[in-house]
A = this chain, B = another copy of it.
Amino acid sequence: MSAGGNMRIEQPYLLFLGDAPDQLAAKTAQGVKDWRPETCVGQLRFTDCNADLGLSDMSLSEGLEKGAKTLVVGVANRGGVISEAWTEVLVKALDLGFDLASGLHNKLADVPALAAAAERNGRQLFDVRHPTETFSIGDGKKRPGKRLLTVGTDCSCGKMYTSLALEREMRARGIKADFRATGQTGILIAGAGVSIDAVVADFISGASESLSPANDADHWDLVEGQGSLFHASFAGVSLGLLHGSQPDVIVMCHEPTREHMRGLPVYALPEIQPCIETNLAAARLTNPEVVCAGLSVNTSRLDPEAAKACLAELEDKIGLPAVDPMRDGVGRLVDKIA
């Protein structure tokens, strides 16, 4: 269970929801609570907060008493910036001995009052979107241990969710497995990882290698994929991650109702079979034994009947298990892998 990457956030957490205008604004905190409830001692909300994770409400000092080490800014206001309304409580948290962690675009470290309070108290500020580590160039050397990478027909189609669901299912079966995070929410959930799209281009595969280091022969790293080899904006990230992860297994993630590639109205989604083949062909460069275990399909926009028909059709077409992790779990994918 060695840590991937060098960023390591101390747990457990107190989740800061602040003045979240609605539940959606707290979706990062929601992700942490859903996947790592044991790491969340409670939530800290302002009186005008409209989000609720169902955790105990508590003050900073109550959070400390419950053992919290890090206050996680799990909320985004408009523009994804750090609100001035939060500064007082964030400074107080540092003064009381918390570290701070945030997945927002702008940095905690760039807010002078927070930088000063962290310095004064010897505490750490984790801006998880912004890697601070120095990575090596990828060396392509095979590492012991098993690795699975979630890939996709597009961005934002369920790679993090699928990776975490696989971790949960594998652990429930007694298989050694660790989720490896490559995006901000995943890093806050895991308490470690690398925001891979923020790494300097030369080091994409090297950073990906460091994320899933050598491990026991029967240990699985479940690496959170990013982007798609068929996304004109981000395919370079996806390819470097694919090469550095050296997956033994890929799982193809897909959102069947999407009309075009995310953010690119003129680009159609790829067909699934060629998308699988292209990913396998590229992955063979660093792991000739790679296989595809099946499809993870986000059918949340379909009614139950349509979802069932969609999964059956995909399964028939591809000849591999096609599951919606939210509806069916990922047991059939793990059967295939194990």
Known: A138-B232, A243-B236. A201 touches B197 (CB 8 A): yes
- Chain B residues positioned under 8 Å from A236 (CB to CB): 201, 204-205, 236-241, 243
Copy number in the complex reads: 2
Q: A281 on the interface (CB 8 Å rule)?
A: yes
- Chain B residues positioned under 8 Å from A205 (CB to CB): 232-236
A residues at B contact (CB < 8 Å): 137-141, 196-202, 204-206, 229-230, 232-241, 243, 263-264, 266-267, 278, 281-282, 285-286
- The answer, among B202, B230, B263, B282, for a CB contact under 8 Å with A285, is B230
- Chain B residues positioned under 8 Å from A238 (CB to CB): 236
- The answer, among B204, B266, B267, B285, for a CB contact under 8 Å with A201, is B204
Distance in Å from the Cβ of A149 to the closest Cβ of chain B?
14
- Inter-subunit contact B201/A232 (CB<8 Å): no
- Inter-subunit contact B235/A239 (CB<8 Å): yes
Given contacts A202-B237, A204-B236, A205-B232, 12 further A-B contacts (CB under 8 A): A138-B232, A138-B234, A139-B232, A139-B233, A196-B201, A202-B233, A206-B233, A232-B243, A235-B243, A235-B282, A236-B237, A239-B239
Q: A202 vs B240: C-alpha distance in the bound complex, in angstroms?
A: 12
Q: A229 vs B114: C-alpha distance in the bound complex, in angstroms?
A: 43
- Inter-subunit contact B286/A232 (CB<8 Å): yes
Distance in Å from the Cβ of A63 to the closest Cβ of chain B?
34
Q: A214 vs B236: C-alpha distance in the bound complex, in angstroms?
A: 22
Q: A49 vs B266: C-alpha distance in the bound complex, in angstroms?
A: 56
- The answer, among B198, B202, B266, B281, for a CB contact under 8 Å with A234, is B202
- Inter-subunit contact B201/A140 (CB<8 Å): no
- Inter-subunit contact B200/A233 (CB<8 Å): no
Listed by A's residue number, 21 A-B pairs whose Cβ atoms lie within 8 Å are A138-B232, A138-B234, A139-B233, A139-B263, A140-B267, A196-B201, A197-B200, A198-B202, A199-B201, A200-B200, A200-B201, A201-B240, A202-B237, A205-B232, A232-B286, A235-B243, A235-B282, A236-B236, A236-B240, A236-B243, A237-B240
- The answer, among B198, B240, B263, for a CB contact under 8 Å with A235, is B240
